[in-house]
Structure 1
Amino acid sequence: MADREHLVYQAKLAEQAERYDEMVEWMKNVAGKDVDLSVEERNLLSVAYKNVIGARRASWRIISSIEQKEESKGAADKLKMIREYRQLVRTICLS
């Protein structure tokens, strides 16, 4: 099996296992080659990024919701922890 086919197959396996971070890495390797992506390869790359970003956005929304809830309660001690954690998630989202 050619290197490119191997990478695409690995990405498909990662998709089936719902391991989208790994799927992104496999497809980045395919995209890094000096050849245009096929329709299937573009779709795999799109699905991988969509799922990775979607999960991170969901985490961000949940943390922001918890922060608002604790803010309305006036829980300053919890707010500090939440904000630190939100900053960590933000850093991960931007990387």
Structure 2
Amino acid sequence: MKLTSTRLGLILLVVPIVVLLTLFFVELGDIRQCELVDQGHWNYLAGHCGDTPSPFVPWIVRSPWLVNGGLLVSVVGLGLCMLGLYRRRG
């Protein structure tokens, strides 16, 4: 199987989004467990459940390289996908 720019673009388009969503929902499950079941307060910076309230810190602030890098790789994948679809096959 030949790895064309279209296939590479599709891989780069889909994989980072799936990774980001997976990490987001894993953390969301931990937060829900902490707040609803354990009746605690989630510490976003430390990533654990505690007894004292802590401020909300967005994911883009905690992991800017992961979020921005993943979205940048997806945009590059979209460009490769469009390039592969635009070129004539021959």
TM-score for both structures, normalised by structure 1: 0.44
TM-score (norm 2): 0.47
User: Greater relative contact order (Cα 8 A, min sep 6): structure 1 or 2?
Assistant: 2
Q: Which has the higher strand share?
A: 2
